Amino acid sequence: MAPHLTDVLIDTASIVCILLGSLMSLGAAIGLIRFPDLLSRMHAATKPQVLGLLLLLSAVGLQLRSWTVLPVLLVAWIFQLLTVPVSAHMVGRAGYRSKHLHQERLSVDELDEVVEAAALSRRSALPRDAEEARTVQRARGSELPRDTGQARKRQQRGAP
């Protein structure tokens, strides 16, 4: 029995989707291995992988030839589409803060000013010693005990 023309077209479209999706995923894997720094590798891991997954899920949907599987495939792709950029952003930000990138490869570094401002405000917010901590606590309206070690020992002995 000869296959129908629609079956041949659907099979051909799914083969093309599988090949293109596999090539996109292979490109992402090669980029992870070959690119020199964290930001380039992160770009290689996220951009082609999402499109490659869409093509592979499209091939699965075409081969199953059922409308009932479409919402599941769509949810899988949307979940990947939403989580991959967020995770890449967090990895990139952590890599930037820990200096695991090549500054000379950045054309514009907009995050440098933000990181410097956050570091300065954090340094100014932390008290330098115990006396400065007491001054800060007095200004906030609560007093720290002078000698917490002695107070703790008195509490353990039952003394006031």
Domain borders along the chain are 5-101
Q: Is 20 exposed, middle or buried (0-12, 13-18, 19+ CB in 10 A)?
A: middle
Q: How many CB atoms lie within 10 A of CB 45?
A: 19
Share of the chain above pLDDT 90, in %: 34
List alpha helices for the chain, DSSP H.
Answer: 5-34, 38-64, 70-97, 111-125, 130-140, 148-157
Residue 57, pLDDT > 50, answer: yes
Separation of alpha carbons 7 and 58, rounded Å: 15
98: how many CB neighbours lie within 10 A of its CB? 9
Report pLDDT for 129.
Answer: 61
Residue with tokens 């989707």: 17
The answer to whether residue 132 scores a pLDDT higher than 70 is no
pLDDT in tens, 75-94: 999 999 999 988 888 888 88
DSSP helix/strand/coil, 142: coil
Lowest mean pLDDT among 43-47, 68-72, 126-130: 126-130
As a whole number of angstroms, the distance between CA 7 and CA 3 comes to 6
User: Which residues contact residue 100 at a Cβ distance below 8 angstroms, ignoring those fewer than 6 apart?
Assistant: 37, 38
Q: What's the full length of the chain, in residues?
A: 160
6 or 105, which is more confident: 6
Q: Note the pLDDT tens digit of each residue in 9-37.
A: 999 999 999 999 999 999 999 998 998 88
